[in-house]
Amino acid sequence: MPQIAVTALVQGVMSALHQAATTPALRRIVAPAQLKVAFAREQARDMGTQLAGSPLGGLLFGLARWIPFAFDAVSYLFVTLAALFIRSPLGPDRAEEKAAEPTSVRQDVGEGLRFLRRDSFLRFLLLWAALSNCTLAGLAFMFVVALRHHGASASVIGTSESIVMACGLLGALAAGRIVRRVSGFQIVVTMSWLMVAGTLGVAALVARPWPAALCFGSLVFFMTPLNVTFEARMAATVPDRIAGRVMMTTSMAAQSLKWLAPLVCGALADRFSPTAPILGLAAVFALLAVAIHLTPALRRFDDAPHTGDDAGLAAPEPATLETTGRDAQPAR
């Protein structure tokens, strides 16, 4: 247990730092008009690797227990080498680096929080990310519990989860086309309510694994373009110098409530039935969808964002949310 705890701690810290660096770096590599497409392709890559990773890991583990871990370590080595060969300067700019004074982690997080408090859209996104991640984690947990409760075998549960991940991959592949053709506000509103419908479908069909898996998969399908839209809008809003701090703070908030989902859902399932917490999760998704209609900042979602230089922040040319339509060149 101590080894697992230390490993999880190191992985969590490194993942937070990595995620805080990737979005600012992406803004320097990808043209502003292609940010949505780039985020969509990132989602497709992640879903594809998740879909392939589980069976590949099982296959390698069957050969020898140490092989999947060695394979994973080698993959990170290749990623590190590939990053060293990126030709675009990823920042910070030398002038900013020389002018910046050394800061602590607490100061960096505090600066990120102060910027988040000044922007109504980012404040909403902070709360939305925390609640939606918690709700999705609870649904993933209860999906397995409910299938098991209704007598599904391990192979049926595994296949059902593969169906969910395959739907997520399809959503990621379709996200680029969706975000190019539909306005950001329409995506946010429509996909939010479709996620409610998908959760209700899981609750109604949980005794039938394949239809329940398709309902859960449809939810993941809808969430992908929603994530892409929010990520692109956030990347276009935050000034370059403070982007890493804001992204790290947002990432911490997004993960802050995930631990609570299995605890609460498990207690409700024991007290009532596995269907009860799933209905509760649908209610949380519905509240988030209603909040989108009631949040003034979301009504101005498609207005050109500005990366203001409050508090002396040097802001680069803001990335626009306008797309180049069918003539858009692929993001590199």
CATH of the domain at 255: 1.20.1250.20
Instruction: Kindly give the interhelix angle for 243-255 and 209-237, rounded to the nearest 10 degrees.
Output: 150
Helices (H), the chain: 2-29, 35-63, 67-84, 94-99, 105-118, 120-149, 154-181, 184-205, 209-237, 243-255, 260-271, 275-294, 296-299
C-alpha angle with apex 298: 22 to 304, nearest 5 degrees?
Answer: 65
Q: Is the pLDDT of residue 254 over 90?
A: no
| SS3 letters across 134-178 | HHHHHHHHHHHHHHHHCCCCHHHHHHHHHHHHHHHHHHHHHHHHH
What mean pLDDT value characterizes the chain? 79
Smallest CA-to-CA distance from 202 within 292, 257, 120, 142 is with 142
The torsion angles phi and psi of 307, rounded to 5 degrees, stand at: -95, 80
In a domain, 96, yes or no: no
Token pair for residue 239?
């000034």
Query: What is the mean predicted confidence (pLDDT) over 73-81?
Result: 91
Determine which of 148-157, 216-225, 313-322 has the lowest per-residue pLDDT on average.
Answer: 313-322
In a domain, 176, yes or no: yes
Instruction: Give yes or no for a contact between 253 and 245, defined as CB atoms under 8 angstroms apart.
Output: no
Task: Please state whether the peptide bond connecting residue 55 to the residue before it is cis, i.e. omega within 30 degrees of 0.
Answer: no
Q: Is the pLDDT of residue 6 over 90?
A: no
- CA dist 215 and 203 (Å) reads 9
Instruction: Give yes or no for a contact between 160 and 212, defined as CB atoms under 8 angstroms apart.
Output: yes
The boundaries of the domain holding residue 229 are 2-56+106-303
In a domain, 160, yes or no: yes
Task: Give the model's pLDDT for residue 187.
Answer: 87
In a domain, 320, yes or no: no
In a domain, 64, yes or no: no
pLDDT band for position 57 (50/70/90)? confident
In a domain, 72, yes or no: no
Q: Is the pLDDT of residue 248 over 80?
A: no
pLDDT band for position 268 (50/70/90)? very high
- Residue appearing with tokens 């770096």: 25
Task: Give the model's pLDDT for residue 135.
Answer: 92
Instruction: Give yes or no for a contact between 227 and 234, defined as CB atoms under 8 angstroms apart.
Output: no
In a domain, 290, yes or no: yes
Q: Residue 125 class from Cβ within 10 Å (0-12 exposed, 13-18 middle, 19+ buried)?
A: buried
pTM of the model: 0.72
Instruction: Give yes or no for a contact between 227 and 41, defined as CB atoms under 8 angstroms apart.
Output: no
What is the per-residue DSSP string for 98-111?
HHPPP--HHHHHHH
How many Å separate Cα 240 from the centre of its chain? 20
- Which residues in 271-280 are b (16+ Cβ under 10 Å) and which e? eeebbebbbb
- Per cent of the chain over pLDDT 70 is 86
Instruction: Give how far Cα 6 sits from Cα of 1, 2, 16, 81, Å.
Output: 9, 6, 15, 26
How many Å separate Cα 146 from the centre of its chain? 25
Q: Is the pLDDT of residue 317 over 70?
A: no
Determine which of 23-32, 105-114, 161-170, 220-229 has the lowest per-residue pLDDT on average.
Answer: 105-114
Q: List pLDDT tens digits, range 170-204.
A: 888 888 788 888 888 888 889 889 999 999 999 99
Task: Give the model's pLDDT for residue 323.
Answer: 34
In a domain, 316, yes or no: no
Task: Give the model's pLDDT for residue 332.
Answer: 35
Query: What is the mean predicted confidence (pLDDT) over 212-216?
Result: 92
How many domains is the chain partitioned into structurally?
1
Q: Which residue has the higher pLDDT, 317 or 233?
A: 233
Q: Which amino acid is at 32?
A: P
Instruction: Kindly give the interhelix angle for 120-149 and 275-294, rounded to the nearest 10 degrees.
Output: 160
Rg of the chain taking only CA atoms, in angstroms: 21
pLDDT band for position 305 (50/70/90)? low
